[in-house]
Amino acid sequence: MQERVKLTDEQRIDWLRLIRSDNVGPRTFRDLINHFGGARAALDALPRLARRGGAAAARICSREQAEKEVNAARARGIDLIALGEPDYPPRLMMIDDAPPLLAVQGRHDIFARPLVAIVGSRNASAAGMKFASGLARDLGGAGYGIVSGLARGIDAAAHRASLDTGTIAVLAGGHERIYPAEHVQLLADILAQGAAISEMPLTWEPRAHDFPRRNRIISGLSAGVVLVEAARRSGSLITARLAGEQGREVFAVPGSPLDPRAEGTNGLLKQGAIMVTEAKDVIDALAPILGRGFDLPVEEPEREEPTANEPSDDERGRIVGLLGPSPCSLDDLVRLSRSSPAIVRMVLLELELAGRIERHGGGLVSLV
């Protein structure tokens, strides 16, 4: 396993500035660090890159803003844990869009436990909530930490049943904008034996698209995700899809075909999710995975010589010309542009920092 070291205060400020700057998402953050060898060098390069990508001026998070966030977090007992630091949740580190910094309140030791997510409908049935409670209690008793999204319905039932054994709430907004507001007390109860996590600034008001974004953290933390009730096209199904993409086990609880809240879960079962009718189903499926442990990706920064990879206007034009609204892969861009992978990556970075492209899973990109 890779040596894990803590950032200096100075580095943490730089990391925070970089991830809070416009058009820098977790994947771009990783590319920038890999390319420039550190957050400070990346911050220095940002204006130039964004300009070359076609943006008039991309906002860069100031040192003052970052210091203010760090201090506000510290004042509330919230730690900003960086990717690669000893307390960072180990399984989450493996996903390709892992948050560079996690704002964590509560206990860090729960991250070292085997974790399983239990999620489902906000508009859950009494039976669904009862089942979620029993499952969370049994899995908690078996040593699992329970991960969920603090939503009404299934999420809340799963958290409540595992308060004593340890549960993790992953927030879509910042720690000072708990949603739904009625769960402020539940969250306080969670912190005694568990934790609350957010990748957003403390005062970030969660918007609709922050929830699916948050769901990748729920599944990313966990060895498996259990869907208890889920209608067709529900947010929980997004979590299940992300879990599958991340190589996590996907579990689903069956229900009557006449119950619309079982449509999503039955659909997952038809697609090969593991059926759960009792905690043993989860434990049996995860035992070999947890027993095996896992290797952290060894992250060797490429540290290319920045100027050596300066794309020419010609190259940049050719690569931009190949992009369109349909996602295409880096490999295809390299093949079709006949530029080097390093050049293509640099042009994509520029375009991303200029807000002109969107990144998708599997290394795909499209023009916005």
Residues lying near a second copy in the complex (CB under 8 A): 127, 130-131, 253-259, 262-263, 266, 269-270, 275-278, 281
Task: Say which DSSP state 225 is in.
Answer: E
- CB nearer to a second copy: give 256 or 326: 256
The CA distance from 18 to 24, in Å, is 7
Query: C-beta of 259: minimal distance to a second copy in Å?
Result: 8
The CA distance from 42 to 349, in Å, is 11
Pairing of strands 195-198, 224-227: unpaired
The CA distance from 95 to 103, in Å, is 18
8 A C-beta contact, residue 264 and residue 230: yes
HEC secondary structure over 152-204:
CCHHHHHHHHCCCCCEEEECCCCCCCCCCHHHHHHHHHHHHHCEEEECCCCCC
8 A C-beta contact, residue 190 and residue 169: yes
- CB nearer to a second copy: give 12 or 261: 261
CA 17-23-24 angle, 5° bins: 45
- CB nearer to a second copy: give 49 or 119: 119
- CB nearer to a second copy: give 79 or 229: 229
Query: C-beta of 113: minimal distance to a second copy in Å?
Result: 25
- CB nearer to a second copy: give 146 or 365: 146
Query: C-beta of 120: minimal distance to a second copy in Å?
Result: 13
Query: C-beta of 279: minimal distance to a second copy in Å?
Result: 11
- CB nearer to a second copy: give 189 or 281: 281
The CA distance from 304 to 323, in Å, is 24
8 A C-beta contact, residue 150 and residue 177: no
- CB nearer to a second copy: give 70 or 161: 161
Query: C-beta of 140: minimal distance to a second copy in Å?
Result: 18
Query: C-beta of 199: minimal distance to a second copy in Å?
Result: 34
- Residue that has been written with the tokens 């300066």 in this structure: 310
Query: C-beta of 268: minimal distance to a second copy in Å?
Result: 10
Query: C-beta of 165: minimal distance to a second copy in Å?
Result: 21
- CB nearer to a second copy: give 203 or 277: 277
The CA distance from 72 to 168, in Å, is 22
The upper half-sphere exposure of residue 317, i.e. CA atoms within 13 Å in the direction of its Cβ, equals 3
